[in-house]
């Protein structure tokens, strides 16, 4: 089989045609993509499908049966026995209900059936998914609807193959109960407004695409160590543990040589993703020990969101094959680098490419400057809503700590574009910085073309050449909600731009109106531009002087979702109704509170059943040592033993009080009180860790967990 040809241990290492052909044949082989559709569909049906996939046209329902038949034949040839409508409910997981292709033939045998009706719509139970009050328990009916723009794929385990059909999910009464539906609506909204703006410049695009490339950070841990940490199992992060002497301070892990065990895992991940048509491109060590990153190429936004969810699933499943566990939590270890999901976002047309491309002379590129000013305005105007889009308990620990961007939404433009912005504010842009080359002082090394600006990894929203990188998204999130918000706020600003420009299109007033508009937008909203060190305390103070919001916690951030102007925004562009938006707030608040409750109860259990007994045993051993020294009539060693017993004993005496505080906070149901009590308990236990004998310490330490060994 092809998969065996490309197994990490047997894949050809030469560049022969057979190796290339095998790799090309692998890509998308478990995906009902364009090449497969062209092979299995009639020319007429294929053409109609392409109108929907590539041009955003309405799906021609007359071809549903033919597509379903082709998909069934293909899936059966891949060994699939079942199919499922695969969707993303308002939780942190995907959902799937499997139905077999098998139908009785009324002759004592069976046939395989799959119709257009089966493909287009299914009816999973909607009552047990989070709905934020949209659905009551007794109101069970919900629907999934096929998204033909995201390819169906085969999900494999050791002995099964299932056809997964990406779908949207809605209630019986029509409200969106998933993350895909609002995303698709936001993509349509920003495409409409982008088209209006392009029309003002005399451009008629065939379509407008929202593009996304999502870089995924993650940690790996040996599974044997993971299973000894109840906090990792229950919450995804360590509730206790202190830094080892060596962690990431030597800066030797980032982009370092990848250990063989990890490289074999990464190769397995790449092959699994390529089979699914996921364009996995980059892999490397990240800043913290045990931390890594995978990055795909750009794709249409909804496909990229689906593929990122698939990437997370593949990472977790493939890790187990190497006796590893993949940790997707934003902050599994305190005081070292957290994990994010860098969302590289752009708008494009097939004819022009990225609309954020500055060109050789960005100061005179009116179209680029219009879209640049629109981004600056929408980020400044809706910084609080953008912050809410990344609100999650795990991200509260990550933002503003250990190489993560702060919770202050700002934009990095770089020196060249910032200079152009200043020129526009003061009357009009006249020049752009010229690209230069850089000589390294070694004759055998080539001259390097030097970009006109540096990069800034401390910025939550950074311009990176022809796209913007939203770096503040959490690693365990799907990209759907942050991209939904970003598309919607951009649609609003482009709507305002088009409304100002349309009356003067084709008149001598157009250029003057555009110039005045850009000057207004940039003068009013340039406070959000910051090219400096986002990690510094000075920036926090400067942001406060500028009036930029600094929203530190999830519960505070989510308040914007119920504000009248947010509801009006989402309704105006058809992205979310009032009830759909308020439901999302209720679900996120409830999820946050439930998670903190789980963390607090896990913390309490570990204090009672793990740390108290271990420290008690250490105290017993030291006391026995003290008694033995005294019985022997020795004076030497007694002081050291007593001193250590007193140091451990003082901390040991703190634990009952920590337990009481935690129990009271849990009983009161107060998340902030629980967090405060957990932090206090952690401080005590972490102070004990270096004092207790290694063979008595009951759980793996950071020194053990952060290092991935060969076996």
Nearest alpha-carbon partner for 151 in 38, 235, 312, 246? 38
Report pLDDT for 10.
38
pLDDT at 434 > cutoff 70? no
Min mean pLDDT across 108-122, 135-149, 203-217 is at: 135-149
Higher pLDDT, 137 or 115: 115
Angle at 192 (CA atoms; ends 524, 354), nearest 5 degrees: 75
Nearest alpha-carbon partner for 452 in 474, 472, 434? 434
pLDDT band at 449 (very low <50, low <70, confident <90, very high): low
CA distance 555 to 669: 14
CA distance 543 to 280: 37
Let me know if 444 is exposed, middle or buried by CB neighbors in 10 A (0-12, 13-18, 19+).
exposed
Report pLDDT for 104.
84
In Å, how far from its chain's centre is CA 21? Answer: 33
Give helix 612-631 / helix 638-668 axis angle, nearest 10°: 160
Report pLDDT for 91.
87
Nearest alpha-carbon partner for 135 in 145, 124, 146? 124
Q: Provide the percentage of residues in the chain whose pLDDT is more than 70.
A: 92
CA distance 179 to 588: 13
pLDDT band at 172 (very low <50, low <70, confident <90, very high): confident
Q: What's the rounded mean pLDDT across residues 76-84?
A: 96
Report pLDDT for 638.
92
Nearest alpha-carbon partner for 338 in 251, 396, 263, 410? 396
Q: Provide the percentage of residues in the chain whose pLDDT is more than 90.
A: 77
Report pLDDT for 131.
80
Report pLDDT for 656.
97
β-strands 152-156, 31-32: how paired?
antiparallel
Higher pLDDT, 495 or 127: 495
pLDDT digits (tens, 9 = 90+) for 522-555: 999 999 999 999 888 899 999 999 999 999 999 9
pLDDT at 496 > cutoff 90? yes
Report pLDDT for 531.
93
Let me know if 644 is exposed, middle or buried by CB neighbors in 10 A (0-12, 13-18, 19+).
middle
pLDDT at 373 > cutoff 80? yes
Cα separations in angstroms, 174 against 126, 186, 583: 12, 17, 14
Report pLDDT for 674.
97
Architecture of domain 595-705: Up-down Bundle (1.20)
pLDDT digits (tens, 9 = 90+) for 291-306: 999 999 999 999 999 9
Report pLDDT for 61.
86
Report pLDDT for 447.
64
pLDDT digits (tens, 9 = 90+) for 504-531: 999 999 999 999 999 999 999 999 999 9
Angle at 44 (CA atoms; ends 42, 46), nearest 5 degrees: 65
Min mean pLDDT across 90-94, 345-349, 555-559, 600-604 is at: 90-94
Q: What's the rounded mean pLDDT across residues 276-291?
A: 94
DSSP for 670-701, please give it: -HHHHHHHHHHHHHHHHHHTTTS-TTT--S--
Angle at 525 (CA atoms; ends 523, 531), nearest 5 degrees: 100
DSSP for 117-177, please give it: HHHHEE--B-TTS--TTSS-TT--BEEEEE-TTS-EEEEE-SS-EEEEEEEEEEETTS-B-
CA distance 279 to 344: 15
Token pair recorded at residue 697: 């310490």
Q: What's the rounded mean pLDDT across residues 47-60?
A: 85
Q: What's the rounded mean pLDDT across residues 390-407?
A: 85
Nearest alpha-carbon partner for 646 in 675, 623, 672? 623
Q: At the topology level of CATH, where does 23-177 sit?
A: Ubiquitin-like (UB roll) (3.10.20)
CA distance 469 to 544: 23
Nearest alpha-carbon partner for 498 in 364, 367, 383? 367
Is-contact 67 116, C-beta < 8 A?
A: yes
Q: At the topology level of CATH, where does 187-437+448-576 sit?
A: Creatine Kinase; Chain A, domain 2 (3.30.590)
Give helix 578-606 / helix 638-668 axis angle, nearest 10°: 150
CA distance 18 to 412: 46
Higher pLDDT, 35 or 140: 35
pLDDT band at 377 (very low <50, low <70, confident <90, very high): very high
Kindly report the average pLDDT of the chain as a whole number: 91
pLDDT digits (tens, 9 = 90+) for 326-358: 999 999 999 999 999 999 999 999 999 999 999
Is-contact 705 237, C-beta < 8 A?
A: no
CA distance 508 to 64: 51
pLDDT band at 7 (very low <50, low <70, confident <90, very high): very low
Helix (H) or strand (E) holding 51: helix 43-55
pLDDT digits (tens, 9 = 90+) for 321-330: 999 999 999 9
pLDDT at 313 > cutoff 60? yes
pLDDT digits (tens, 9 = 90+) for 603-660: 999 999 999 999 999 999 999 999 999 999 998 999 999 999 999 999 999 999 999 9
Report pLDDT for 19.
80
pLDDT digits (tens, 9 = 90+) for 457-482: 789 999 998 999 999 999 999 999 99
In angstroms, how far is the first alpha carbon of the chain from the final one? Answer: 28
pLDDT band at 12 (very low <50, low <70, confident <90, very high): very low
Which residues pair with residue 324 across a beta bridge?
222
pLDDT at 453 > cutoff 90? no
The domain ranges of the chain are 23-177, 187-437+448-576, 595-705
pLDDT at 135 > cutoff 90? no
Higher pLDDT, 12 or 404: 404
């Amino acid at each position: 089989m092809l998969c065996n040809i490309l197994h990490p241990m047997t894949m050809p290492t030469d560049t022969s045609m057979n190796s290339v052909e095998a790799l090309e044949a692998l890509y998308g082989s478990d995906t009902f993509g364009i090449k497969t559709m062209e092979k299995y569909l009639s020319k007429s049906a294929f053409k109609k499908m392409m109108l929907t996939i590539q041009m955003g046209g309405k799906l021609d329902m007359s071809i549903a049966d033919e597509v379903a038949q082709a998909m069934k034949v293909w899936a059966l040839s891949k060994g699939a026995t079942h199919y499922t409508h695969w969707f993303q409910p308002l939780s942190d997981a995907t959902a799937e209900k499997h139905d077999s292709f098998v139908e009785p033939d009324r002759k004592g045998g069976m046939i395989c059936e799959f119709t257009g009706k089966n493909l287009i719509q299914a009816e999973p139970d909607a009552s047990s998914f989070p709905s934020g009050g949209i659905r009551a328990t007794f109101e069970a009916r919900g629907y999934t609807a096929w998204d033909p723009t995201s390819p169906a794929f085969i999900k494999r385990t050791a002995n099964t193959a299932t056809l997964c059909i990406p779908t949207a999910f809605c209630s019986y009464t029509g409200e969106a109960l998933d993350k895909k539906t609002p995303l698709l609506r936001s993509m349509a909204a920003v495409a409409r407004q982008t088209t209006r703006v392009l029309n003002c410049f005399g451009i008629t695009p065939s379509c407008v695409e929202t593009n996304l490339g999502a870089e995924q950070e993650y940690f790996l841990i040996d599974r044997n160590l993971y299973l000894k940490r109840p906090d990792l199992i229950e919450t995804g992060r360590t509730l206790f543990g202190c830094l080892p002497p060596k962690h990431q301070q030597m800066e030797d892990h980032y982009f370092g040589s990848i250990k063989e065990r990890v490289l074999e895992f990464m190769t397995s991940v790449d092959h699994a993703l390529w089979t699914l048509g996921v364009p996995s491109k980059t892999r490397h060590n990240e800043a913290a020990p045990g931390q890594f990153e995978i990055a795909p190429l750009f794709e249409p936004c909804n496909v990229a969101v689906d593929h990122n969810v698939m990437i997370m699933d593949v990472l977790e499943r493939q890790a187990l094959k190497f006796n590893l566990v993949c940790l997707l939590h934003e902050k599994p270890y305190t005081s070292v680098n957290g994990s994010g999901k860098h969302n590289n976002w752009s708008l494009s047309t097939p004819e022009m490419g990225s609309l954020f491309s500055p060109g050789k002379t960005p100061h005179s590129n009116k179209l680029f400057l219009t879209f640049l000013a629109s981004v600056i305005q929408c980020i400044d105007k809706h910084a609080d809503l953008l912050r809410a889009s990344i609100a999650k308990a795990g991200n509260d620990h990550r933002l503003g700590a250990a190489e993560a961007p702060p919770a202050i939404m700002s934009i990095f433009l770089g020196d060249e574009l910032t200079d152009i912005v200043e020129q526009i504010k003061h009357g009009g842009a006249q020049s752009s910085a010229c690209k230069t080359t850089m000589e390294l002082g070694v004759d055998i090394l080539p001259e390097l073309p030097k970009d006109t600006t540096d990069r800034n990894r401390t910025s939550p929203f950074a311009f990176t050449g022809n796209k913007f990188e939203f770096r503040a998204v959490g690693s365990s999130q799907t990209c759907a909600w942050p991209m939904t918000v970003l598309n919607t706020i951009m649609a609003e600003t482009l709507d305002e731009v088009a409304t100002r420009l349309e009356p003067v299109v084709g008149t001598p007033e157009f250029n003057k109106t555009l110039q005045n508009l850009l000057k207004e937008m940039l003068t009013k909203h340039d406070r959000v531009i910051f090219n400096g060190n986002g990690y510094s305390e000075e920036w926090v103070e400067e942001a406060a002087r500028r009036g930029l919001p600094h929203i530190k916690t999830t519960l505070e951030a989510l308040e914007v979702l119920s504000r009248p102007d947010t509801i009006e925004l989402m309704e105006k562009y058809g992205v979310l109704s009032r009830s759909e938006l308020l439901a999302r707030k209720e679900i996120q608040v409830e999820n946050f509170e439930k998670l903190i409750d789980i963390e607090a109860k896990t913390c309490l259990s570990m204090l009672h059943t793990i740390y108290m007994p271990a420290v008690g045993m250490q105290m017993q051993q030291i006391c026995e040592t003290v008694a033995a020294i005294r019985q022997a009539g020795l004076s030497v060693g007694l002081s050291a033993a007593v001193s250590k017993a007193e140091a451990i004993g003082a901390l040991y005496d703190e634990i009952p009080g920590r337990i009481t505080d935690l129990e009271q906070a849990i009983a009161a149901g107060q998340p902030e009180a629980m967090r405060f009590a957990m932090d206090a308990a952690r401080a005590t236990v972490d102070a004990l860790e270096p004092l207790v004998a290694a063979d008595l310490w009951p759980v793996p330490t950071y020194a053990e967990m952060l290092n991935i060994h060969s076996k």
